[in-house]
Structures are given as structure tokens and as C-alpha cells.
């Protein structure tokens, strides 16, 4: 069965996927004119890509249509019917725009990097491509390829520009993620070879397929392991604090802002959409895991002395809300999960950015060594406070709304009985008490109080215009989503409804 | 008039431009914004005055025709879920609007002078205006989600304002404590809202009450009664935290670390009233569940007693007032629990004005004292160092006295009318509660007069401290940052090196030390510029120039005088004037306002207090209060010998040698009160330690077990690889051995299989 050229006019998505990496290759042929040219060039490419995406989505994407749009399908490998199939729908639109936004800002944040700046910027652009390719691929094998494609840049970024223990962390990262993607590949091949003689990797055809229950459960477990490592879901999360603790903060922004979201996105895209029966079996267990994760990661976070690890565990804790939202199998829960994906993408990235910039100044990573930075760096203090408050779900910021909607998702879920609902809600809500404990004590240890720094070997600048710009640029969407959450809801509402129509009780 | 109501949503947003503009200015043009800082007070006050005019208009309309208006706009629409934003104007809202705006304006004016030399002047106004915005939003909310949103926002403002002087470690602990304690309450509130949504499917108050009543009266089996009670309790727990009621009151005394205007506005008059507001708003819902009403009353009475006893031995003037606030809020909560809605609101209003007056008065005192004892709150707010201020700050003294008398419940003043009403109602509710409530009225008079007498009577004690030359007196061991330093500053010896340190890296540290205190003081005709309180102490140590506190300037006195007027006359709104002359029209302003709400509550309809009963009751309560005042003045009337020690009670009791038992009792009460009822200690040991242990345990588990498994697998594979490398060592004999070994095993297995087959 040949799919016709469904692209109506212009291969937008192919351009979006191809542009950054091909522009990245050009970096290597640049004449040696210093790092400045490379930096400006990379930022230019990122901004161009972001603007193009915004333009294309604004004009060629219908929000009220739950089907896949802007589809492109080119035959790539004739031998086993492998297509270059791209397309986006309401589910992937948000993460793609998030990717563009965060990557641009991360490139801007990475300006202090001078060592090997060619390779660094090339890797940033390669990641950009990989991520957009992942979010827009409509083919299982392509999804897998993109999944693998962005691993290599992260590994290199971590291993070359990380902190002291970078090799250990990088190895851990690559072992975890590469190990998990074996399961992804197995699942993908299993789905592809089931039922028909020739492999079908197409999402749409596999979505309509039904499998024997045991087989579906097996597939589900395979995909779940892959996404659980990435998302992360406990107990497969330990790569994350190490990786975040060691990586340069621009890499951290990408990791926290986008990479973690790939796992959650995969859960919705593959586990929920393709394997709906298995999902309804597994979701009641996963929701418990999600609730435990929130508490567990939050309490682990307050035990961390390392600033970046503390924020990393807070990411783990916040991703618990996504899992709960996905597993509540209710309209609001899933919407909330998507909102949480976007919202935490902003907030997590911003917190890592700020912690990195303050590390640049004081050169201390342990919280108990810090103190009294507020008078020296009032602007960083302000942004840090605001974003910590955003992270602890203060109303008026996006985090609050995402968590609230997830809560309503649990309450309105028709799948569960009253008692489990009460328990899950209760346990999840305990997380809202633990969150301020670790975030505020982080603020307290860093900024409050006073301390005499040895004036000779440390120098303090407050945020410069670039850093201020980055943090405000992240703050603005956080606040605007918090005030008017329909910005994000309007993207995903119809698609969510379409996904949930596969489930009986919703 | 419909139009005014329709556009009233703007009320909560009128004051929003100020924080936004200043915030942007501070970020983008810090220098010029800071230069122009005094100008920014003006728009804040102006915008709040506009709101006040609006709300006065509204109030008058509500008096004439009290009715409920509600407008909603849809905020976010999902398929089966829509959130709405709106405002609800009813008598409760209009009363609170007036309260917030009047106190807010006065406090803004006050803080213009109070904070004028602070580096964070603009930041202060940003927070204050934002607080006003969110507080106004809170009281005009039309649904529970909106309440929750603004509830958290006022909590955040409170957090930021408590942590305003963030260089002091005590402050940073206090603000975190306040936020986390409030978050515990919010946790309950959120769960309660979710539960109610599950039961009724709505957030709007009107729908909520209707559906809820139907559910209760129809006695549906679907909704378990226990679950309903649980939800109501969870909602109430939000109010417990915000209004500093018994189990979650610990944050309020610590919150006094914030600047004094904040204590007046947020932690006495408005934000802590939010909990009362919530209970009052949801009273139609609570009324149908008798257990909850009993619980509310119980929590109220516990808080009343606890707050009063804890206020005994505070030496910090603001903490004393904070416990008093807690106790008075307990009265209000008690009134709500008893179902006397009107009395609760009445006391809320009168208490808010009186307590704001007291706090502003204490701020004025602190402001005067700061010049003498230095800027550490441990000294400037310490009542032990005060005394004899009557001569120096006469206007403040009068204002403070009036506030004290009002809080004690002395007749013509505001709190008398409201407290008396609550006390009267408590007789009909439960005699035990009434006895506690009445005796606490005496305690209130006692501790308030203790504060008053210590502050204003006698002579200025700071110099006695100096004359006595006690090195180990607590106040000199307290370092600038409020840390209980183990070092006892031995006057000059230790101070001089500190000073030199200051001078060495003056550039670096200038921002530190001049954070609060750059002020020129006029003492004894010489102008001294004080950049650092160390210098001040030094002066006293060496030169012994005696300066005396001075009356604050007019900007500080003016709001206090206005509040004095309120304290004198606000009681009039609740006094049933008409009942003495006309029998058919026995309605005061407050009752007139609250008719619709009262009719919603199905009770307390016809409560005509007759004149005789009123007089007997009030005589009783006033005599109890005067007894408390008498005890206080007999104990704390300036006796100079008692000033040497902190434990006044001890000294007084020691007069009689026989009264050892009495002495012990006093000591126990004193220790109980001084240690805040051991509740903070208990929380610190059980909860804080518990969470810390949990955190350590989980991070240990995470690092050793979960990560350990991963690392273990890594190491095993590494060693296995190494092992295999050794196996392949290249010795032929070893390979042959292995080969034979495997062949042997193979043969064994195959023979056993064959034998089993052949046996079949």
C-alpha cells in the first residue's frame, strides 16, 4: 500500500528537522575567526528556526483538527517499506515549540563556553534536529532513529563540557539510555512485524491494530522501560541527578526542558495511543508509582546538599504529576499532564540556568557552603525566588495550573473507585507540602542570611543583560500560561479527546 | 447601579499597576527608580484610595439594599470542565473591602515614613501593593478556586514580607516556617476543594450551598457522611493555618520578624482575617454539619486560652501582640463555631482596627528606641529595655493606651461591644466555654496591660542595664544579626576589632550594613551619622551620652490618630441604638447589612438582647477585665528592683517566704509561656526532625540501594570481563582441561537423558 504524497504544498517539517543539523555542519567549514562568529551564527539559526516554526504553525496548522497535519511522506528505504514520515498534531505541537524556545535560550545561555566551541555549537544544533525530528515523526522506526540521534550529542556534551565527575555521569547516562532504547527497538520491531508480512512502522496503521493481550502487555512493558528511563520513573531515575549535576547548565536546560519530556511524550504517543488495552491495565499500577515518585523524589531532594542535584530531584518529583495525569485516563488528567510537560519544561530549564549562573559566580556547589548572596546579586535572587515559587506551584504561574488540572483529572477519573482516588490525591497533595520545604530551604541556604565572602578570589556581578534576558524570556510564558492556561489547552484539547475515545470509561 | 456592580472586578486590579511598574523599573532602570523612590508611595496610596471610595460606595449601597451580586467570566474552557472567574459582592465582602482599604491606606502612609531610610523601600511598596491586590481579590472571589489562588498569593506576599530583611538568619527561618505552615493549611484547603468538587461538581458558592444542603437533607447514601465531614474539615484546616489557630499557630509569632507595618497590616488586620473570612463565607456549608461547628468552636476556645497564656512572658513587644492577635482571632473563630455570625464579623472588624493601632503604636515605639539601643530587633523590640516612654512619646502613648483599653474590653471602645457579644453568646452555647472565654478576657486585660506598663511606665531601662554593668545580660550577647552568639561582647574590647573589619572592606560591605540603617540622629545637639549599630553601642560604652527616644514624625502619628478614631467609634456600627427607643426597629448597621447572610444560616433570627441582661453581662466582663488590669498593675507597676531580672513574676512572688507552692506554679506558667507552650519545640523535634530523617533516609536509599544496584551491575560486568580475560590466558593445558570438563558434563547429561528415555 503506497501512501500518496500527502504534503499539500511545502515540506515544512522536513525543513525544520533538516535545517539545524545541516546548518551545523557548515560550522566546521567556517574560517578561524574566533568563537564570536560561531556563537552568533548558531543563535541566528536557532532563532530562524523558531520563527519559521511559529510562522508555519500559525498559518498552516488548524488547531481544531485532531488529525495529523502538515504530513510528509517520502519513501526512504525501499527494501522494507521505510518512510520518512513526518506530521504533527495537537500533542506534538506544544513540545516542538518548547524545543525551539528552550534550545534557542540554551544556546544563548551557552555563550560563556569557549573551549571547542565549534563542536559544542554543532552538537547543540544536532540535538535541535533530533528533538524536533522525534516530536514530529509519524513512523516508529523514525521515532527510534531520532531517539538515538539525540543521545550522542548529549553524551558528548556531557563528557566534554561537564564537571569533575563527567565521565562517570556520561557513561551512566549512555548505558541507561542506550540500554533502554534496546527495549524501544524491540517494541517497535514487534509492532511492525506483527500481523502482516511486510513491516509497517506507520503510527496511524498501528493505532488501529489490535493485539492479543499478552503480546500487547509485552510491547507495553518494552516501551515503558524505554520511556521510564527517559521520563524518568522511579526506580530508573538515578542517571538523572548525576547527569544534571555534572553537565554544563546549557546542557542541563536541554536535558530538563526537553529530554525528560521525550519520555512523557513517548508514553502518550505510543503507550497510550497504540496500546490502549495494556495502558488501561497498567495505569492503575503506574499511578501508584507516580504518587510514590512525587513523595520519594521530593524527600530525596531535601536530603541533597548539591544544588543542581536538588533541582534535578525536584524535576523527578514534578514529572510524577505527568505520570499521574497520563495514567488517570481522563480528559483533564491528560490535558494536565501535557500542560505539566510544557510548564516544567520552562521552569526546570530556568532553574537550571539560574543555578548555573550563580555557580559561575560563587564556584560553590554545596548548599551549606553558600549563604548571603541576596545582597550581592539582587537580580539573580529575584529571578530565583520567582522561579522557585513557580516551581512550588504558586498560583498565577503555570506549574500551579498544571498540578491543579492533574488533581482534577484524578478526581474526575472514571476508572478508579473512591478510596484509591482519595489515597492517590492525598499522597500527591502531600507532595505539595514537601515541595516548598526543599525549594525554600534551598533559597534560604543560598541567598538569605549573610556571609563574608573572601573578597579576593571571588567576584560578583549581578545578572548581566544576557542572563536577565534569558530568565525573563522563560518567565514570561510561565506567567502567561499561569494566567491564561488556554494557551496550551487550546493546542491539545481536541487531540486528547481523540486519544481518550479509545478508552471505554471516559 | 447595576453598572457599578458589573465593573467591580476592577477593584482587585486597581492597585496592580504599582507593583508591576516598580518591579519593571527596578529591573530595567534600577538607579533612576531608586532615586525617585519616595514618589512611588503616592500612586500606591492614591490607587488604594480609589478602591476605598469604590468600596465605601458599595458599602452604602449594601446597607440600603443588602443583596448579593455575582458576575462570572469563563476563564478556561475544557470539554467537561470550565473554570470561571468572577466577583461576588455581598455584605461580608463589602465589610472586608472597607477594612482592607482603610487599614491598607493608613499602613501605606505610615510605612512611607517608617521605611523611608531603608534600602528596600521600593521593594517594600511592591510587596505591599501586591498584597493589597491579592487580598482584595481574595475577598471578592466568587468561587473556591479563585479563593485558593488568591489565598496562596497572600501567603506568598506574607512570605516575602516576613523575609524582607533577609540578611538575618532568624528572618529566613521565620519566613520559611510561615510559608510551610501555611502550605500545610493550603494542602487541606486544596483537598477540601477537590472533595467538594467531587461531591457537588461545582466551585461556585451559591451552587455549592444549594447542592450541599440538598444532599444533606435528602440524606443520600451515595455520599458518605463521613466523607462530607472530612472535606469540610479539610477546608477548615486552611482557615486554621491562615488565621493562626491552635495546631498551626506557630508561624504567627515568628512572622513578627517582618517590618512592623507588615505586622499591622498582614499579621493583625487583614491576612489573618482571611481564615475567618473563609469560614464565614462557607458557614452555610459548615452549619449543616454539627460536628464541624463544634470543632470550630473547640479550636477557637483552645486558641483563645493558648494565645492568652503564651502572651504572658514575651519580652518582645511584637510577639506579645502577636499572641494577643492569635487569641482574639480565637474569639472570632469561637463565635463562628457558635453560629453567631454577626458577633464574629463585628469582633473581626473592631479587633482589626484596634490591633492595627497597637501594632502601629509599637512600630512607633520601636522606631524611637532604635536610635538608642541599635537596630537589632532583639533590642529595639525588647520591652525589658523600654519603660518610662510616657514622657518621651506622649502621643504614641495615648494611642497605644486606647488600643490596649479597647482590646481589654473597656466600655466605650470598640472591642468592648464585640467581645461582649461573643461572651454573651457563649453562655447560651456552653457554660464551660463561657467560663474559659470570660476568664481569658481577664487574661487579655492582664497581658495587654503588662505590655503597656512595661513599655510606658517607670524609667527608661536601657540605662539601668548599662549602670548595672552586667556582662551576661542577654541583650549584649546578641549579635547584630540576631544570632545568639556564644561570644559575650565585652564592650570595647571586642567591638573595636569588629569596627576595624568594617572599615577595611567598607566598599564591599557597605551595602550590608547600610541596609536598614542609614540615618542621621540628633542627640544632644550633635549630629552623628550612624552607619552601624556597633558604633552606637560603642558610644554608650565609652562616652555615655544619654539620648532619649523621640516622638516619631507626623507621617507616623497621623495614621495612628486616624486609627484611634476608628477604635473609638467603630463600635457604633454594631451597637443596637434603636432598640432602646423603638421596639419595632431594633437593627444596627451591621445587622442590617447581614440580614441576607443570617437568613441563609437559618438561625439566630430573633435575638433581641434586652437591656438588663446586656448591662449585667457587660458589668461582669468589664469587672473581670478590670481585675486583670489590677493584677497587671500590681505586678508590673514600676518597681525598680525588679528590673534587674527578666523573671519579674518570680521576684514578686518571692516576697512571701511561705508561698513556695505559688512560686512554683508561677514558675511553671512562666516557663510554659516563655517557651511558647513547648509547641514549637515539639514540632521542631517531631516534624522537622522527622522530615529531615526521612530525607536522609531516602537519599541514602537512593544513593546506596537504587544507585548501588546500578553501580554494582557495572562493577560486576567489569570484573566478569576481567575474569574472562584471565581465563583466556593462552595456556593449552588449561584449554584442554576445560574441553574435557565440558565433554564430561555433556556425556553425563546425555547419558542421563537416554537412560530416562530407555526406562520409559
| Residue B582 scores a pLDDT above 60 | no
Q: Which residues of B touch A176 (CB under 8 A)?
A: 710
| Residue B598 scores a pLDDT above 70 | no
> What does pLDDT average to over chain B?
77
Nearest CA in chain B to A444: B172
Q: What is the mean pLDDT of residues A360-377?
A: 82
pLDDT reported for residue A262 = 92
pLDDT reported for residue A353 = 94
Residue owning grid cell 534587674: B644
Q: Which residues of A touch B198 (CB under 8 A)?
A: 411-412, 421
pLDDT digits (tens, 9 = 90+) for B474-517: 333 333 333 333 333 333 333 333 333 333 333 333 333 333 33
Q: Are A352 and A249 in contact (CB under 8 A)?
A: yes
| Residue B518 scores a pLDDT above 70 | no
Q: Exposed, middle or buried by CB within 10 Å (0-12, 13-18, 19+), for B252?
A: buried
List chain A domain ranges. 10-503
Q: Are A411 and B197 in contact (CB under 8 A)?
A: yes
Query: How close is the nearest chain B Cα to the Cα of A77, in Å?
Result: 37
CA A469 vs CA A45, B81, B626, B755: distances in Å: 19, 36, 63, 82
| Closest C-alpha to B81, from B242, B194, B250, B185 | B194
pLDDT digits (tens, 9 = 90+) for B700-733: 888 888 888 888 888 888 888 888 877 766 778 8
Nearest CA in chain B to A483: B75
Task: Please indicate if any CB of chain B lies within 8 Å of the CB of A375.
Answer: yes
Residue owning grid cell 505539595: A432
Query: How close is the nearest chain A Cα to the Cα of B224, in Å?
Result: 11
| Residue B526 scores a pLDDT above 70 | no
Q: Are B145 and A430 an interchain contact pair (Cβ–Cβ within 8 Å)?
A: no
Query: How close is the nearest chain A Cα to the Cα of B696, in Å?
Result: 5
Other CB atoms within a 10 A radius of the CB of residue B232 amount to 24
| Residue B459 scores a pLDDT above 60 | yes
pLDDT reported for residue B332 = 92
Greater confidence (B757 vs B486) lies with B757
| Residue A476 scores a pLDDT above 90 | yes
Residue partners of B644: CB distance under 8 A and separation at least 6: B464, B468
pLDDT reported for residue B64 = 76
Q: Which residues of A touch B690 (CB under 8 A)?
A: none
Nearest CA in chain A to B506: A455
| Closest C-alpha to B329, from B240, B414, B400, B258 | B240
> Where does the pLDDT of residue B151 fall: very low under 50, low under 70, confident under 90, or very high at 90 and above?
very high
C-alpha cell at B723: 575474569
Greater confidence (B577 vs B548) lies with B548
pLDDT digits (tens, 9 = 90+) for A135-165: 999 888 899 999 998 889 999 999 998 888 8
Query: How close is the nearest chain B Cα to the Cα of A125, in Å?
Result: 31
pLDDT reported for residue B431 = 87
Strand ranges for A51-162 from DSSP E: 69-77, 82-88
> Where does the pLDDT of residue A194 fall: very low under 50, low under 70, confident under 90, or very high at 90 and above?
confident
| Residue B544 scores a pLDDT above 60 | no
Query: How close is the nearest chain A Cα to the Cα of B463, in Å?
Result: 31
pLDDT digits (tens, 9 = 90+) for A418-450: 888 889 999 999 999 999 999 999 999 888 887
Task: Please indicate if any CB of chain B lies within 8 Å of the CB of A411.
Answer: yes
| Closest C-alpha to A438, from A315, A342, A320 | A315
C-alpha cell at A16: 525544520
Q: Are A124 and A110 in contact (CB under 8 A)?
A: yes
pLDDT reported for residue B581 = 47
Q: What is the mean pLDDT of residues B394-416?
A: 87
B34-43, B218-227, B566-575, B618-627: which has the minimum mean pLDDT? B218-227
Q: Please, what sign has the CA dihedral across residues A427, B145, B159, B259?
A: negative
pLDDT reported for residue B219 = 67
A476-480, B216-220, B386-390, B652-656: which has the minimum mean pLDDT? B652-656
Which H or E element spans position B71? Answer: strand B69-77
Q: Are B163 and A404 an interchain contact pair (Cβ–Cβ within 8 Å)?
A: no
Burial annotation A486-506 (CB, 10 A radius, 16+ → b, else e) = ebbbebbbbbbbbbbebbeeb
Other CB atoms within a 10 A radius of the CB of residue B54 amount to 18
| Closest C-alpha to B386, from B406, B362, B402 | B362
Q: Which 3-state string (H, E, C) describes A190-257? A: HHHHCCCCCCCCEHHHHHCCCCCHHHHHHHHHHHHHHHHHHCCCCCCCCHHHHHHHHCCHHHHHHHHH
Please name the member of A411, A441, A444 whose beta carbon is closest to the beta carbon of B197. Answer: A411
Q: Are A72 and A87 in contact (CB under 8 A)?
A: yes
> Where does the pLDDT of residue B1 fall: very low under 50, low under 70, confident under 90, or very high at 90 and above?
low
Tell me B136's DSSP state. H
Greater confidence (A302 vs B523) lies with A302
Q: Are B84 and B74 in contact (CB under 8 A)?
A: yes
Greater confidence (A450 vs A479) lies with A479
Q: Are A471 and A385 in contact (CB under 8 A)?
A: no
Task: Please indicate if any CB of chain B lies within 8 Å of the CB of A425.
Answer: yes
Other CB atoms within a 10 A radius of the CB of residue A353 amount to 27
Bond preceding residue A235 cis, omega within 30 of 0: yes
Check if the interface score ipTM surpasses 0.90.
yes
> Where does the pLDDT of residue A11 fall: very low under 50, low under 70, confident under 90, or very high at 90 and above?
confident
pLDDT reported for residue A54 = 92
Tell me A2's DSSP state. P
pLDDT digits (tens, 9 = 90+) for B66-97: 677 777 777 766 666 677 788 888 888 888 99
Tell me B654's DSSP state. T
pLDDT reported for residue B476 = 37
pLDDT reported for residue A348 = 93
Q: What is the mean pLDDT of residues B350-368?
A: 89
Nearest CA in chain B to A168: B711
CA B585 vs CA B314, B576, B582, B592: distances in Å: 47, 10, 6, 10
Segments in A258-374 forming alpha helices (H): 260-266, 276-302, 307-327, 331-362
> Where does the pLDDT of residue A98 fall: very low under 50, low under 70, confident under 90, or very high at 90 and above?
very high
Q: Which residues of A touch B231 (CB under 8 A)?
A: none
| Closest C-alpha to B73, from B84, B87, B82 | B84
Report d(CA A382, CA B126) in Å as an integer: 13
Task: Please indicate if any CB of chain B lies within 8 Å of the CB of A469.
Answer: no
The top-scoring range by mean pLDDT among A307-321, A359-373, B426-440, B586-600 is A307-321
Q: What is the mean pLDDT of residues B538-555?
A: 61
Task: Please indicate if any CB of chain B lies within 8 Å of the CB of A374.
Answer: yes
> What does pLDDT average to over chain A?
87
Greater confidence (B650 vs B462) lies with B462
Q: Which residues of A touch B699 (CB under 8 A)?
A: 299-300, 303-304
Report d(CA B530, CA B536) in Å as an integer: 7
Over the Cα atoms of chain B, what is R_g?
32
Q: Half-sphere exposure of B611 toward its Cβ, with a 13 Å CA cutoff? A: 8
Q: Are A389 and B81 an interchain contact pair (Cβ–Cβ within 8 Å)?
A: no
Query: How close is the nearest chain B Cα to the Cα of A108, in Å?
Result: 20
pLDDT digits (tens, 9 = 90+) for A16-49: 999 999 999 998 888 877 788 889 999 999 999 9
Residue B601: phi and psi, rounded to 5, are: -85, -5
List chain B domain ranges. 664-726, 729-759
Q: Are B76 and A429 an interchain contact pair (Cβ–Cβ within 8 Å)?
A: no
pLDDT reported for residue B529 = 39
pLDDT reported for residue B641 = 43
Please name the member of A303, A433, A468 whose beta carbon is closest to the beta carbon of B183. Answer: A433
pLDDT reported for residue B525 = 36
Through-space distance between the first and last CA atoms of chain A, rounded to whole angstroms: 34
Greater confidence (A87 vs B40) lies with A87
Amino acid at each position: 500500500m503506497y501512501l500518496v504524497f500527502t504534503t499539500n504544498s511545502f515540506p515544512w517539517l522536513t525543513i525544520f528537522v533538516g535545517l539545524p543539523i545541516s546548518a551545523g555542519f557548515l560550522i566546521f567549514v567556517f574560517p578561524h575567526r574566533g568563537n564570536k562568529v560561531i556563537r552568533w551564527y548558531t543563535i541566528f539559526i536557532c532563532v530562524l528556526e523558531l520563527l519559521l516554526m511559529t510562522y508555519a504553525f500559525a498559518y498552516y496548522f488548524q488547531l481544531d483538527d485532531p488529525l495529523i497535519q502538515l504530513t510528509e511522506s517520502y519513501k526512504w528505504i525501499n527494501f522494507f517499506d521505510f518512510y520518512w514520515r513526518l506530521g504533527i498534531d495537537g500533542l506534538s505541537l506544544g513540545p516542538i515549540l518548547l524545543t525551539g524556545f528552550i534550545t534557542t535560550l540554551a544556546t544563548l545561555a551557552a555563550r560563556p563556553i569557549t573551549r571547542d566551541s565549534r563542536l559544542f555549537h554543532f552538537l547543540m544544533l544536532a540535538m535541535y534536529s533530533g528533538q524536533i525530528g522525534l516530536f514530529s515523526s509519524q513512523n516508529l522506526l523514525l521515532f527510534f532513529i531520532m531517539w538515538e540521534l539525540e543521545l550522542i550529542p548529549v553524551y558528548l556534551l556531557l563528557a566534554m563540557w561537564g564537571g569533575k565527575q563527567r565521565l562517570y555521569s556520561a557513561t551512566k547516562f549512555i548505558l541507561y539510555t542506550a540500554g533502554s532504547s534496546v527495549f524501544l527497538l524491540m517494541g517497535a520491531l514487534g509492532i511492525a512485524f506483527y500481523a502482516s508480512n511486510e513491516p509497517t512502522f506507520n503510527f496511524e496503521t498501528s493505532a488501529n491494530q489490535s493485539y492479543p493481550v499478552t503480546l500487547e502487555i509485552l510491547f507495553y512493558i518494552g516501551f515503558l522501560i524505554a520511556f521510564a528511563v527517559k521520563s524518568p520513573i522511579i526506580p530508573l531515575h538515578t542517571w538523572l541527578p548525576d547527569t544534571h549535576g555534572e553537565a554544563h547548565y546549557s546542557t542541563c536546560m536541554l536535558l530538563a526542558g526537553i529530554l525528560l519530556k521525550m519520555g512523557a511524550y513517548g508514553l502518550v504517543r505510543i503507550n497510550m495511543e497504540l496500546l490502549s488495552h495494556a495502558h488501561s491495565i497498567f495505569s492503575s499500577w503506574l499511578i501508584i508509582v507516580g504518587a510514590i515518585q512525587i513523595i520519594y523524589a521530593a524527600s530525596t531532594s531535601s536530603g541533597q546538599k548539591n544544588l543542581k542535584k536538588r533541582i534535578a530531584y525536584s524535576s523527578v518529583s514534578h514529572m510524577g504529576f505527568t505520570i499521574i495525569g497520563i495514567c488517570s485516563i481522563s480528559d483533564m488528567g491528560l490535558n494536565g499532564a501535557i500542560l505539566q510537560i510544557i510548564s516544567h519544561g520552562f521552569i526546570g530549564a530556568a532553574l537550571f540556568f539560574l543555578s548555573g549562573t550563580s555557580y559561575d559566580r560563587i564556584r560553590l556547589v554545596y548548599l551549606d557552603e553558600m549563604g548571603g548572596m541576596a545582597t550581592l546579586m539582587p537580580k539573580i535572587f529575584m529571578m530565583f525566588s520567582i522561579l522557585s515559587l513557580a516551581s512550588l506551584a504558586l498560583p498565577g504561574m503555570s506549574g500551579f495550573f498544571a498540578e491543579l488540572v492533574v488533581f482534577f483529572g484524578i478526581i474526575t477519573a472514571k476508572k478508579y473507585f473512591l478510596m484509591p482516588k482519595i489515597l492517590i490525591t492525598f499522597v500527591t497533595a502531600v507532595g505539595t507540602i514537601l515541595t516548598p520545604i526543599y525549594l525554600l530551604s534551598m533559597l534560604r541556604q543560598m541567598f538569605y542570611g549573610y556571609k563574608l565572602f573572601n573578597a579576593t578570589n571571588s567576584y560578583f556581578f549581578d545578572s548581566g543583560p544576557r542572563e536577565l534576558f534569558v530568565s525573563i524570556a522563560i518567565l514570561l510564558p510561565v506567567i502567561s500560561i499561569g494566567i491564561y492556561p488556554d494557551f496550551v489547552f487550546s493546542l491539545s484539547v481536541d487531540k486528547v479527546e481523540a486519544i481518550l475515545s479509545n478508552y471505554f470509561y471516559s | 447601579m447595576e453598572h457599578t456592580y458589573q465593573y467591580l472586578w476592577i477593584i482587585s486590579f486597581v492597585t496592580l499597576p504599582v507593583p508591576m511598574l516598580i518591579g519593571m523599573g527596578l529591573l530595567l532602570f534600577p538607579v533612576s527608580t531608586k532615586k525617585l523612590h519616595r514618589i512611588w508611595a503616592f500612586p500606591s496610596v492614591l490607587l488604594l484610595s480609589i478602591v476605598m471610595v469604590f468600596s465605601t460606595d458599595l458599602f452604602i449601597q449594601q446597607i440600603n439594599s443588602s443583596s448579593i451580586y455575582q458576575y462570572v467570566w469563563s476563564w478556561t474552557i475544557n470539554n467537561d470542565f470550565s473554570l470561571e472567574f468572577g466577583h461576588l459582592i455581598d455584605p461580608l465582602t463589602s465589610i472586608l473591602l472597607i477594612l482592607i482599604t482603610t487599614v491598607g491606606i493608613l499602613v501605606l502612609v505610615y510605612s512611607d515614613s517608617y521605611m523611608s531610610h531603608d534600602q528596600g523601600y521600593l521593594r517594600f511598596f511592591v510587596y505591599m501593593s501586591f498584597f493589597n491586590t491579592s487580598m482584595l481579590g481574595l475577598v471578592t472571589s466568587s468561587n473556591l478556586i479563585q479563593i485558593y489562588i488568591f489565598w496562596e498569593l497572600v501567603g506568598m506576599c506574607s512570605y516575602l514580607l516576613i523575609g524582607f530583611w533577609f540578611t538575618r538568619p532568624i528572618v529566613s527561618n521565620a519566613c520559611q516556617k510561615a510559608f510551610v505552615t501555611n502550605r500545610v493549611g493550603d494542602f487541606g484547603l486544596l483537598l477540601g476543594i477537590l472533595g467538594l468538587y467531587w461531591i457537588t461538581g461545582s466551585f461556585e458558592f451559591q451552587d455549592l450551598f444549594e447542592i450541599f444542603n440538598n444532599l444533606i437533607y435528602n440524606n443520600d447514601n451515595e455520599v458518605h457522611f463521613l466523607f462530607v465531614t472530612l472535606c469540610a474539615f479539610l477546608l477548615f484546616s486552611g482557615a486554621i493555618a491562615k488565621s493562626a489557630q491552635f495546631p498551626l499557630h506557630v508561624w504567627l509569632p515568628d512572622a513578627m520578624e517582618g517590618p512592623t507595618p507588615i505586622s499591622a497590616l498582614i499579621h493583625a488586620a487583614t491576612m489573618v482575617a482571611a481564615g475567618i473570612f473563609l469560614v464565614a463565607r462557607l458557614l452555610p456549608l459548615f452549619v449543616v454539619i454539627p460536628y464541624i461547628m463544634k470543632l470550630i468552636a473547640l479550636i477557637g476556645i483552645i486558641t483563645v486560652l493558648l494565645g492568652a497564656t503564651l502572651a504572658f512572658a514575651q519580652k518582645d513587644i511584637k510577639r506579645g501582640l502577636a499572641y494577643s492577635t492569635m487569641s482574639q482571632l480565637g474569639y472570632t473563630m469561637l463565635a463562628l463555631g457558635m453560629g453567631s455570625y454577626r458577633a464574629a464579623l463585628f469582633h473581626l472588624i473592631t479587633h482589626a482596627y484596634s490591633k492595627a493601632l497597637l501594632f502601629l503604636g509599637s512600630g512607633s515605639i520601636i522606631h524611637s528606641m532604635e536610635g538608642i539601643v541599635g537596630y537589632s530587633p532583639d533590642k529595639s523590640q525588647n520591652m525589658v529595655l523600654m519603660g518610662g516612654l510616657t514622657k518621651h512619646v506622649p502621643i504614641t502613648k495615648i494611642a497605644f493606651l486606647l488600643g490596649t483599653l479597647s482590646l481589654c474590653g473597656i466600655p466605650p471602645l470598640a472591642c468592648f461591644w464585640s467581645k461582649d457579644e461573643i461572651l454573651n453568646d457563649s453562655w447560651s452555647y456552653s457554660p464551660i466555654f463561657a467560663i474559659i472565654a470570660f476568664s481569658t478576657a481577664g487574661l487579655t486585660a492582664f497581658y495587654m496591660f503588662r505590655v503597656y506598663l512595661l513599655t510606658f511606665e517607670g524609667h527608661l531601662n536601657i540605662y539601668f542595664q548599662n549602670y548595672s554593668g552586667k556582662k551576661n545580660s542577654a541583650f549584649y550577647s546578641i549579635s547584630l544579626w540576631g544570632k545568639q552568639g556564644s561570644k559575650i561582647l565585652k564592650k570595647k574590647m571586642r567591638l573595636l576589632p569588629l569596627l576595624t573589619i568594617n572599615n577595611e572592606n567598607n566598599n564591599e560591605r557597605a551595602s550590608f550594613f547600610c541596609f536598614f540603617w542609614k540615618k542621621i540622629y540628633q542627640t544632644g545637639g550633635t549630629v552623628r551619622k550612624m552607619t552601624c549599630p556597633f558604633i552606637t553601642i560603642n558610644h554608650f560604652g565609652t562616652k555615655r551620652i544619654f539620648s532619649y527616644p523621640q516622638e516619631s514624625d507626623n507621617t507616623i502619628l497621623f495614621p495612628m490618630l486616624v486609627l484611634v478614631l476608628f477604635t473609638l467609634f467603630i463600635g457604633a456600627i454594631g451597637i443596637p441604638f434603636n432598640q432602646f427607643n423603638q421596639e419595632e426597629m431594633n437593627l444596627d448597621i451591621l445587622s442590617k447589612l447581614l440580614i441576607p447572610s443570617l437568613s441563609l444560616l437559618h438561625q439566630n433570627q430573633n435575638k433581641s438582647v434586652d437591656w438588663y441582661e446586656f448591662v449585667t453581662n457587660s458589668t461582669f466582663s468589664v469587672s473581670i477585665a478590670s481585675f486583670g488590669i489590677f493584677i497587671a498593675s500590681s505586678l508590673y507597676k514600676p518597681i525598680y528592683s525588679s528590673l534587674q531580672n527578666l523573671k519579674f513574676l518570680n521576684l514578686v512572688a518571692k516576697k512571701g517566704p511561705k508561698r513556695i507552692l505559688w512560686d512554683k506554679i508561677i514558675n511553671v506558667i512562666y516557663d510554659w509561656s516563655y517557651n511558647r507552650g513547648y509547641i514549637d519545640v515539639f514540632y521542631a523535634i517531631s516534624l522537622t526532625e522527622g522530615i529531615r530523617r526521612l530525607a536522609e533516609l531516602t537519599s541514602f536509599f537512593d544513593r546506596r540501594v537504587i544507585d548501588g544496584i546500578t553501580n554494582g551491575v557495572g562493577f560486576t560486568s567489569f570484573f566478569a570481563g576481567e575474569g574472562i580475560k584471565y581465563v583466556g590466558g593462552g595456556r593449552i593445558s588449561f584449554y584442554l582441561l576445560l574441553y574435557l570438563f565440558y565433554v564430561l558434563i555433556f556425556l553425563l547429561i546425555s547419558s542421563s537423558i537416554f537412560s530416562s528415555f530407555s526406562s520409559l
